[in-house]
Structure 1
Amino acid sequence: MVSTILPLLPPQESYDLYCEPAVGGGAVFHAKEPSPVEVINDLDGRVVNFYRMVKSQYDLLDKLIKQTPHSRHAHKEAEHVLKNQDLYSNVKIAWAFWVQTNMSFASCIFGGFAYARKKNSCEKKMFNKRQAFDKNYASRLELVQIEQEDMLKVIRSRDSERSFFYVDPPYFNSECGHYKGYTKEQFVNLLTTLAGIKGKFLLSSYASDVLQEHTDINGWDNIKKIMPIAVSHKVKRDKVEVLTANYPISNLAA
């Protein structure tokens, strides 16, 4: 979805502060040009620890990642580390987070080990991920504020007419993986918060009645994409991914 999302972002010169209040893997953050002020946030301490270790212990973390093959053994070891964090260093926990999110089925922590039957697509993906984890990845974080806070609090505290928020929360109407527990009520609270901000936002979510209701009430713009979602190694199911904004985006969609 990154290639779809990037053209929908407002012009760089139209905002000073860029914020991802639910950064997760940060695919959009790492793909876009830096902004004068940048904030990334995630309530999951494992996510925040990973970014902090990238920022402060890059060389050691890079060594661990580069020497890790795409293997079930590494996947199981990483699971053990994340389930027994008090026994390991923050760098080892960051390595385990990287392994679990990149080697697990559907990128879910504690998900099954991902593999392919006909093509070596998983191995190629891991090779590319290892290569992408370079000095530029680390230097990208040097001037970034890293938060571990409720996303609504982060949005309110960073809001201004010159702020832009890319919001990719857990999807309440899906299997949330390691973000299980995100509710419809929390999503409604997010929509209510976004309706009241001074800045601009772009929201990623699945289609839902409550999203449509808030879109109609607030006059937001949106585009829809049919996305095949893997539910098992053999089965894929189509879901409607919706990108919603409080500025015009329909004319920007390819």
Structure 2
Amino acid sequence: MNSLISWVGGKKSIRDLIYARFPQSYGRYIEVFGGGGWVLFGKKPDKFEVYNDFNNNLSNMFAVVRDQPLAFIQELGYLPENGRNIFNLYKEIITKQRVEDKFLQEEMEKVKVYFTELQQEEIMEIMKQERIEKQDVKLAVAFFKLVRYSYGSGCKTFGCRPYDVRKAFNTVWQISDRLANTVIENKDFEALIIQYDRSDAFFYLDPPYYETEGHYSVVFTKEDHIRLRNTLKKLQGKFLLSYNDCEFIRDLYKDFYIEGFSRINNMALRYDKSSQFPEVLISNYNPMKNSGIQKQLDLFEQDGGDENDE
């Protein structure tokens, strides 16, 4: 299954490689930096699974799609809205984190005229709650459109490419069903890992890559990279971690299993068809024990860490 959106650092092109390195058994699955959910949606549902992203626009969008798919589709509309002005409108909505309701105050005044004081309190509470729920849907759709209409899904500049929103309808229903039993969180990675860590837990992590953090809307500092490593060192369960291949990351995780590989650099594809981007998969267990893995010549180069139990 595909995701509803493309996203910076999405793992669609290498998710089969990632799945092959999952532990052979685990009791709970947690995606710490869920992003567009490409790894989550490409695998079979687990009995216990968690999607998390500290970007509240992502977590809200997937929560709305899971719980209110019809409301999402209705708000999405049935006609494409392609243009720089509409893109800037969605950008403003997401920046403010609210959709202005010009008629709310007017409706409140009418309630005061026609109902008793006790009735007013009850009706106003219902109206406020209804708008809070609608606000989540409106923000989710605004964010979806902002991603779809932006260049490289970066939500910063207009992409100048048309998109027919009707193409998303089937995917919305599919993802709603897929997420039915998935917990959706919006937490800092350390708090999330501590909350869900157990001996049978498996964490897949795809954090902002080192020295490419500017491509992400959520700030992730060098200290955060170190804090992530320190959090994972204390882990009871297992983890598999995606990163860009560089000296800093290899040194930071030198005590773990590190497997290097290269893939096509999608960001540079239009300028250089042969551009490669070096990445690593890091784990606290030996992923090569999985029976489905066949090492490919000139593609992988494995460094050994301290061996942990599979």
Q: TM-score range by the shorter chain?
A: 0.7 to 0.9
2:222 to 179, 184, 200: 184
SS at 1:133 equivalent:
helix
Q: Give the Å deviation of 1:175.
A: 4.7
**Which residue number in structure 2 is paired with residue 46 of structure 1?**
57
Aligned pairs for 1:12-161 within 5 A: 14-65=25-76, 67-69=78-80, 71-73=82-84, 74-88=86-100, 89-113=135-159, 115=161, 130=168, 133-161=171-199
Alignment deviations for residues 43-89 of structure 1 (CA, whole Å, 9 cap, x no partner): 12111211221122210212344625372355334223212332252
SS at 1:67 equivalent:
coil
Residue 261 of structure 2 aligns with an amino acid whose one-letter code is K
Give, in whole Å, the separation in 2 of the partners of 1:58 and 1:34. 19
**Identity of matched residues, %:** 25
1:2 to 4, 10, 15: 15
Q: Give the Å deviation of 1:232.
A: 9.4
Residue 31 of structure 1 aligns with an amino acid whose one-letter code is G
Structure 1, unpaired ranges of 5+: 116-121
Give, in whole Å, the separation in 2 of the partners of 1:212 and 1:123. 40
Residue 220 of structure 1 aligns with an amino acid whose one-letter code is Y
Residue 226 of structure 1 aligns with an amino acid whose one-letter code is R
191-200 vs 169-178, which moves further = 169-178
TM-score when normalising by structure 1: 0.83
Give, in whole Å, the separation in 2 of the partners of 1:70 and 1:239. 34
**Which residue number in structure 2 is paired with residue 119 of structure 1?**
none
Alignment deviations for residues 156-192 of structure 1 (CA, whole Å, 9 cap, x no partner): 2211221111101112311543435211110111012
Question: Structure 1 pair 132/168, CA: closer, same or farther in 2 (3 Å)?
Answer: farther
Structure 2, unpaired ranges of 5+: 1-13, 101-134, 297-310
Question: Structure 1 pair 163/111, CA: closer, same or farther in 2 (3 Å)?
Answer: farther
Give, in whole Å, the separation in 1 of the partners of 2:79 and 2:206. 29
Residue 91 of structure 1 aligns with an amino acid whose one-letter code is V
Q: Give the Å deviation of 1:203.
A: 0.8
1:202 partnered with 2:202: no
Question: Structure 1 pair 207/172, CA: closer, same or farther in 2 (3 Å)?
Answer: same
Aligned pairs for 1:210-225 within 5 A: 210-216=248-254, 218-225=255-262
**Which residue number in structure 1 is paired with residue 129 of structure 2?**
none
Give, in whole Å, the separation in 1 of the partners of 2:218 and 2:55. 11
**Which residue number in structure 1 is paired with residue 104 of structure 2?**
none
Give, in whole Å, the separation in 1 of the partners of 2:197 and 2:212. 29
**Which residue number in structure 2 is paired with residue 163 of structure 1?**
201
> Cα RMSD over matched residues?
2.8
SS at 1:201 equivalent:
strand
Question: Structure 1 pair 173/136, CA: closer, same or farther in 2 (3 Å)?
Answer: same
Question: Structure 1 pair 231/182, CA: closer, same or farther in 2 (3 Å)?
Answer: farther
Q: Is the 8 A contact 2:213 2:219 kept in 1?
A: no
TM-score when normalising by structure 2: 0.69
22-31 vs 174-183, which moves further = 174-183
Question: Structure 1 pair 106/235, CA: closer, same or farther in 2 (3 Å)?
Answer: farther
Alignment deviations for residues 112-155 of structure 1 (CA, whole Å, 9 cap, x no partner): 3154xxxxxx859x776x15523221022222222111111111
